[in-house]
A and B are shown apart, each in its own frame.
Chain A
Amino acid sequence: MKEHSEKGKIYGPGDYSRKGTTYLSADVCVVGTGSAGAVVAAVLASAGVDVLVLEEGPYYASEDFNQLEHLMIPALYRESANQMEECFNISVMQGRCVGGSPVVNMADCVMTPRPVHEHWIRYFGYAGPSYCELSKANEINTRRMNVNKIPEEELNENNRLLLESARSLGLSARTFENNRVNCVGCGYCLIGCHYRAKQSTLVTFVEDALKDGVRLFSRARAERFVWTKGRARVLEGVFLEKDSDVPMGRFEIRAHEFVLAAGAIHSPLVLMQSGIQIEGIGDNLSLQPQMPVMALFEKEIVAYRGIPQAAVVDAFEEIDDEKGLSGFRIEGIMAGPAMSSSFGPGSGLEFKQLMTRFRHIAAALILFPDRPSGYVRVKERGRALIKYRFSDELARTIRKGLKEAARIYLHAGARLVAFPTLPGVTVKSLNDLHRIDSISFTPAHVRMISAHPQGTLRMSERGPVRPDFRLRGFENLYVCDSSIFPTTSSSHIMLPVMAYARVAADRLIQAL
């Protein structure tokens, strides 16, 4: 049998040659196995297309997720979850493993609201898939992922406290729709579900794709396309060692069609490394930053057990076709002590004292849908330079969001509410809320998270991606990940990305 030609297999470093170049071919080559790549691969393979998929990260089966943060976070996240934008205010956290970010996300399922779609048509000359087409695609995807609403009786104390306190203040709050089935409530969603309860890409679309004969190459980093006359001819890249990013051998892939689904940070990076110069590549980055907040209670909360992110206060979220998605929302959250401590305020004995009360800490993430305000460039091969600027409007919204979160927690009886800022800001009563006004957004002043980068290859009137998902000026190079959204698509982008990916795959099948 020809080398690397076995269908339905996941290849890894043990299968790769360290010498010379490995040559591969397929009808379609998909770059990435996250929300976009896994769906595209599964849809194409189900139609009998010969598909080859590349994933830069390693392959971990569900039983390999051992619930140890110090081993799983470096293994499953890009740059060990230390991918920072240049000002060191936002940590851009992306899954980098077979299955991508859905393997390490909080399983929140929120489709693009129709007004956001209308906003794109009105202000960005968007002419891509219709809302009706996307809704149908979303219906198929959510059925496959068993999306369901979290019952309120399944809330842990952390989320219940947030929900009830918000409601008693007259604020709208509810539980999430999620893609968990038979959740045991271990709380380790951020480092992979050991129990196959989270219906992530790993246990749904990746498995479907493999059953239908897809060849998946893990630890394979796509670097650049060789292209002429509007056609991508070859995709070049390197295989990586199992436990480090040291290259161990090169590969070249020939395919009729290429699908770029490496996410809003790395899809533009591959195009830039290929010398493709189209206006707008890497621009218009939205990071949708999120600020963690910790609240200390007298009683035990044990926030790290149960479904970590299950309740949301959506009273401050605004959705209309004039501005798209704006305002903010407050969502319950908790991680293990290692990751949580990285976002704790201050240092020294005082900080250690706070961490000794770990079982008494409640936590939330305040999520801020933003306007595009940054860009991505090549820092070095395979690594991105991420630039992002907080607009004055966003800074005002963030301060307002922190005050509202503090109000909710103080109302619930918190002794102290702390924000991961430099220097650390803590609030013990409503009289302290003015301290939040002192928070600055110049370099290295806040510790925020971005799990939803978007927009760097816009599908818009003058954007780099055409309405049919093809890169402008190219016949056989498609883009279908979160980079194509003109502005932020949803508060949680897994479902929107998957819907677009299914539509893209259907169109690709018609074109083949």
Chain B
Amino acid sequence: MRKRDFLKLNLTRREALTLGIVAAGYSLFTSVVRVRASEKAGTPATMTTILKYAADALLPPGGSLPQAPSQLGVPEEILQFVSKQPPSVQKDFRSALMALEVMPILELRFKRFTSMSPQERVQYFASWEKSRWGLKRKIFVALKSAVTFAYFSHPEVWEKIGYEGPLI
């Protein structure tokens, strides 16, 4: 097999691929362990973090609506809402967040979603909307619906978009 100057390590494609799979497997394993451990401890901090980054990637701070969802407590509100749903819904929601967290690794980007820079996260998650893989689009729809619904329920946001709120 032809040698490639891959990452300046002179690895063959097969070697590079093997290394990538091992790295992805390790990161995936540590992510799962991390999430499971935090869930067992009763502190879903990891889920909150993934959701926080996902929400801020969907509606990044800036523009004429400067506040990010995380600044308004949107991730916490969504998790509170999900906690009242049937167990199967809660499980699906956790799986969706986990998929978002580890998918970059499986795609050989060598970092988790939460390890990306804010700009990378915006671009990466936006790419899910255009993905050819139905699962990615489903997760995008589910998270976008939840985040936008919660974000545009805040009076601080209403003020910026000219919505007066209830009449009673």
Report which A residues bind B (CB closer than 8 A).
66-70, 73-74, 79-80, 82, 87-88, 184, 186, 188, 194, 243-245, 304, 336-342, 344, 346-349, 351-353, 355-359, 379-380, 383, 422-424, 442-445, 447
Contact = CB atoms under 8 A, between A and B. Distances in A.
Could you tell me the dominant secondary structure of chain B's interface residues? helix
A342 B148 contact: yes
B75 to A, nearest CB: 15
Contacts of B29: none
A243 B84 contact: yes
Nearest to A244: B84
Contacts of B64: 352-353, 356
A338 B149 contact: yes
A70 B163 contact: no
B129 interface: yes
Contacts of B162: 358-359
Contacts of A342: 144-145, 148-149
Given A82-B145, A349-B60, A424-B129, A70 B137 contact: no
A355 B137 contact: no
B166 A68 contact: yes
A-B pairs, top 7 by smallest CB distance, nearest first, are: A67-B166, A444-B137, A70-B153, A443-B134, A341-B148, A337-B152, A358-B161
Contact of B129 (A245, A339, A422): A422
Residue in A68, A423, A424 whose Cβ sees the most chain B Cβ within 10 Å: A423
Given A338-B153, A383-B88, A447-B141, A66 B166 contact: yes
B86 A380 contact: yes
Contacts of B65: 352, 355-356
Contacts of A355: 65, 152, 161
B125 A444 contact: no
5 contacts: A342-B144, A347-B144, A358-B163, A359-B163, A422-B130
Contacts of B81: 74, 80
Nearest to B58: A347
Contact of B160 (A188, A356, A447): A356
Interface in B128-168: 129-130, 134, 137-138, 140-142, 144-145, 148-153, 157-158, 160-163, 165-168
Contacts of B134: 87-88, 442-444
A379 B88 CA distance: 10
A13 to B, nearest CB: 14
Nearest to A69: B153
Interface string B87-123: 0110000000000000000000000000000000010
A304 B163 contact: yes
A468 B58 CA distance: 53
